[in-house]
Amino acid sequence: MAELIVKTYYDNLKNGKLMGLKCPKCSTHSFPPKGTCNKCGNPDLSWVQMSGEGKINVYSVLNYPGGEFQAVAPYAFGLVKMKEGPVFYTMVKGVDLDDPWKGNMKLPVDATAKVEKVGTKSIVVFYAKK
Ligand SMILES: [Zn+2]
């Protein structure tokens, strides 16, 4: 079951679709999708397309990532709260990498998701709206 969820998630990402799971009992979303509801433990969840809207709450700059991500360093990695509720860490763009302390951007900032390729991986990137 867990392998199938991961495969479905990545197959959809390759096609540019953000698919999460929604609990029919309590309406809690999970993204990236998990096999059981975080809130009520229900294992019988339904696939739903996520809006891709969210807020970047915090970020920091990664200068020395490993593997395929070395090619795109430095980049920002932030905590995003999606409109539907899930919170997760991912790459964020449109934020100031050189001097985050300038205070040009007040967090949290609204952001929109795009699926991008880094090396052989498809990942979710959130772009800050200015
Ligand atoms: Zn639930």
User: Are both 35 and 85 inside the same structural domain?
Assistant: no
User: Are both 58 and 6 inside the same structural domain?
Assistant: no
pTM over 0.85: yes
Q: How far is the CA of 26 from the centre of ligand 1 (A)?
A: 4
Q: How far is the CA of 22 from the centre of ligand 1 (A)?
A: 8
Q: How far is the CA of 40 from the centre of ligand 1 (A)?
A: 4
Q: How far is the CA of 30 from the centre of ligand 1 (A)?
A: 10
User: Are both 66 and 19 inside the same structural domain?
Assistant: no
In the predicted structure, residue 98 carries a pLDDT above the cut 90: no
With cut-offs at 50, 70 and 90, classify the pLDDT of residue 28: very high
User: Are both 34 and 60 inside the same structural domain?
Assistant: no
Q: How is 4-59 classified by DSSP, letter by letter?
A: HHHHHHHHHHHTT--EEEE-TTT--EESS--SS-TTT-----EEEE---EEEEEEE
User: Are both 69 and 114 inside the same structural domain?
Assistant: yes
Q: How far is the CA of 87 from the centre of ligand 1 (A)?
A: 16
Mean per-residue pLDDT over the chain, rounded: 93
Of 13, 33, 49, the position where a domain reaches its end is 49
Instruction: Count how many domains the chain has.
Output: 2
Angle at alpha carbon of residue 90, lines to 89 and 91, rounded to 5°: 145
Q: How is 62-102 classified by DSSP, letter by letter?
A: ESS--GGGGGG-SEEEEEEEETTS-EEEEEEESS-SS-GGG
